[in-house]
Amino acid sequence: MQATDYIHPRIPALQVTEPAGTALRWMEELGVDTLPVSEEAFFMGFVADENLLEQDQLDTPLAQVELESRTCWVYADAHLYDLLRVADEHQSKWIAVVDRDHHLIGVASTQDALASYANSLSIHSQGSVLVLSLQMQDYQLSEIARLVESENAKIVSCLLNSDPMDPQQLDVTLKLDRQDLRHVKATLQRFGYQVMDYAQEEGIQSIEEERIGNLLRFLES
């Protein structure tokens, strides 16, 4: 799950000396609206088609065109989570992947990274979703797993979300391998856990599943 695993093989790196017209032809051929730009192998940023179309002459070199998202990059060995964090910060479909000398290696697809993230959450497997609310100091996944497994269920994925207004308040979203949550829910409540939400009927999506689905649809548009 490193950034290099998500590099798109067909996206070229443009040189700052290349003309705007060349960049537009590449974008049309590839069906994209942004491309990475480098200078002597160093990542310089992304050029957008709207900035290219503003040029009076199509032979204007990219060095004279405004570049965007100069900090939208990750190191080659960055984890999938870092890649998605940078993509979210820049609201970008592409993230530059560079080596430790800041040489551009390629660009990673946010869509591919999100699809991989969704698969890692076992989103497509049958089961149920349960959301707990607790203080950070009370969070111990091993204890929660013990209680879940005492009811013959297993945790197949876990997501943590902290409250921006109260970083010590934590929401724990659990994906379980069982659809019937009655006994699991009762056991967790008996041991003092606050169950905020749950879905156990086939076909119901969790909030996280819906968010990821919406992101994937946005990237495909």
Q: What is the C-alpha separation between 111 and 117, in angstroms, rounded?
A: 10
pLDDT of residue 115: 79
Interstrand relation of 14-15 and 34-39 (parallel, antiparallel or unpaired): parallel
Q: Read off the tokens for 207.
A: 């909030």
DSSP letters, 180-197, are: --HHHHHHHHHTT-EEEE
Tally of CA atoms within 13 A in the half-sphere of 149 that contains its CB: 9
Q: What is the C-alpha separation between 91 and 85, in angstroms, rounded?
A: 10
Topology at the third CATH level for domain 3-117: CBS-domain (3.10.580)
Kindly indicate whether the domain formed by 124-220 is annotated with CATH number 3.30.70.260.
yes
Percent of the chain with pLDDT over 90: 53
- Is the pTM of the predicted complex or chain greater than 0.75? no
Q: Among the listed ranges 16-30, 89-103, 166-180, 190-204, which one has the minimum average pLDDT value?
A: 190-204
3-state helix vs strand vs coil in the chain, percent to 5? 35, 30, 30
Whether residue 201 has pLDDT greater than 80: no
Whether residue 204 has pLDDT greater than 50: no
At residue 86, φ and ψ (nearest 5 deg) are -65, -40
- Share the mean pLDDT of the chain: 86
DSSP secondary structure code for residue 60 in this structure: -
pLDDT tens-digit readout, 44-64: 999 999 999 998 888 999 999
The residues spanned by each domain of the chain are 3-117, 124-220
pLDDT of residue 203: 46
pLDDT tens-digit readout, 98-149: 999 999 999 999 888 887 776 665 555 677 888 999 999 999 999 999 999 9
